[in-house]
Amino acid sequence: MTDEFREAHAKRLLKDELFTEAFDVLRKELMNRWEASGSTEVEARESIWLAMRLLDKIYGHITSIVETGRMSKILEKQHPHI
């Protein structure tokens, strides 16, 4: 898979309403579960925290693919012989 293809695919994902809705719904659902958890439900809260971090990491990874592609294009324009 080429870098250009990865960037284009990542852009499509980030613009896809269903994809972004899924992240938003999951994030809200996890927050609701965390807020509803009792003070003795330490393992449940830790599990929810981990799920939220993983959700952020997945979204961040896809975003970084787009950003890396942008930076590559800027560098190519500024330094075409490198």
CB proximity list for 4: less than 8 A, separation 6 or greater:
69
Helix (H, G, I), strand (E, B) or coil at 77: helix
In whole angstroms, give the CA distance from residue 31 to residue 48. 8
pTM over 0.75: yes
Name residue, tokens 């599990």.
47
pLDDT averaged per 10 residues in sequence order, the chain, 82 residues: 89 96 97 95 96 96 89 72 66
Phi, psi (rounded to 5 degrees) for 65 = -65, -40
Other CB atoms within a 10 A radius of the CB of residue 48 amount to 20
Closest CA to 3 of 58, 57, 65, 64: 65
Give the model's pLDDT for residue 76: 72
